[in-house]
Structure 1
Amino acid sequence: MNLIVEVADITLLEVDVIVNAANSSLLGGGGVDGAIHRAAGPSLLKECRKIRDTELPDGLPTGQAVATKAYELQALWVIHTVGPNRHAGEGDPHLLESAFRSSLELATQLGARSVAFPAISAGAYGWGMDEVARVAASAVMAWNSAENGACRALQTIIFAVTNENARAIFESALTLAAGSFEVD
């Protein structure tokens, strides 16, 4: 499995799956969520509304994930997951780990070969970058162990971060969790 940390605009990455740090409404918002909705075009919002109307009338619960087509993005799919919001009293790291793990499990079910994650819950949701990186690294390693490296399509996981400081933090967390990784 290739683990890559990259300072990049997640909406421009050529991967099978882009993970969206969504809010529970799935209807777009600020930050990564808004950027993904804008880049994917209006069909993404239309599909998200349909999911809300038919499958998730109360919204997507924290820590869970749902997939849509990627429409005008380079990716094939967008996996929407809701990370915990510390400002709303959601401080349990298990909820954050669940957001990463449920996204990885769904990407595997889709047969994805590559997936790109943002720093779920960092910033506006009140989680520090170092904490998000540690939880993300732990979740990826736990998921990989649970899968026992079994025959699966998913081979590359990219953490798309917004600056060099975040990159260094994710690199450090992945080094501690995995021992080594590929840096792009």
Structure 2
Amino acid sequence: MTTITLVQGDITRQSVDAIVNAANSSLLGGGGVDGAIHRRGGPAILAECRKLRASQYGKGLRTGQAVATTAGELDARWVIHTVGPRYSHEEDRSELLASCYRESLRIADELGARTVAFPAVSAGIYGWPMEDAARIAVETVRATETSVEEARFVLFDERAYEAFAARVG
């Protein structure tokens, strides 16, 4: 059974097997968590992302999917990039958000990762309400069969931490 832990802080400072990146579909870096991971991880991450774009992900990574690269200079072996959905008032995209967590755990299992650090996918610039993002994240990780021993949610601020803590119990 996977242990869920919560940390308030900087995901790029975590010492884990894999860090999940809330990436954009281009895989070429961006703002928020994505930009921070690329900056701290150094050029090796971007180089592998460019190779992925030049091969099987020519049109980018689809929402809800995940793919791994090196972690570069981060204190991890891999970065698992996943593309979260933008929040919509008109369309329920909850399944796409849940898929980000399931696919990230599937990739972690393929890699042999036992500890994985997750951000609150889609809860930043993609506008997903934090409480609902926490519900989907925690429920999905709990329901997904995986060999990952620790799923660590690394929350940037106190509000996010409290939303996840209310779900973890």
Return the TM-score normalized by structure 2: 0.95
8 Å Cα contact 2:32-2:124 kept in structure 1 = no
Q: What's 2:135 paired with?
A: 134
Q: Give CA deviations for 1:82-125 in whole Å, capped at 9, x if unaligned.
A: 00012697641000000011001110111111000000000210
Q: What's 1:167 paired with?
A: 161
8 Å Cα contact 2:116-2:152 kept in structure 1 = yes
Which structure 2 residues correspond to residues 29-48 of structure 1 after superposition, within 5 A? 29-48=30-49
Q: What's 1:53 paired with?
A: 54
| Unaligned stretches of 5+ residues in structure 2 | none
Q: Give CA deviations for 1:43-96 in whole Å, capped at 9, x if unaligned.
A: 111110110011100100000000001010000000000000126976410000
**How far, CA to CA, are the matches of 1:35 and 1:162 in structure 2?**
12
**How far, CA to CA, are the matches of 1:88 and 1:53 in structure 2?**
35
Aligned residues: 168
8 Å Cα contact 2:67-2:107 kept in structure 1 = yes
Q: How far is the alpha carbon of 1:141 from its aligned partner?
A: 1.4
Q: What's 1:104 paired with?
A: 105
**How far, CA to CA, are the matches of 1:115 and 1:51 in structure 2?**
22
8 Å Cα contact 1:84-1:90 kept in structure 2 = no
CA RMSD in angstroms, aligned pairs only = 1.5
8 Å Cα contact 2:18-2:116 kept in structure 1 = yes
**How far, CA to CA, are the matches of 2:89 and 2:18 in structure 1?**
28
Q: Secondary structure at the match of 2:166?
A: helix
Tell me the amino acid that sits aligned with residue 74 of structure 2.
L
Are residues 1:123 and 2:124 paired? yes
Q: What's 2:150 paired with?
A: 156
| Unaligned stretches of 5+ residues in structure 1 | 176-184
Which structure 2 residues correspond to residues 83-102 of structure 1 after superposition, within 5 A? 83-86=84-87, 91-102=92-103
8 Å Cα contact 2:21-2:80 kept in structure 1 = yes
Q: What's 2:9 paired with?
A: 8
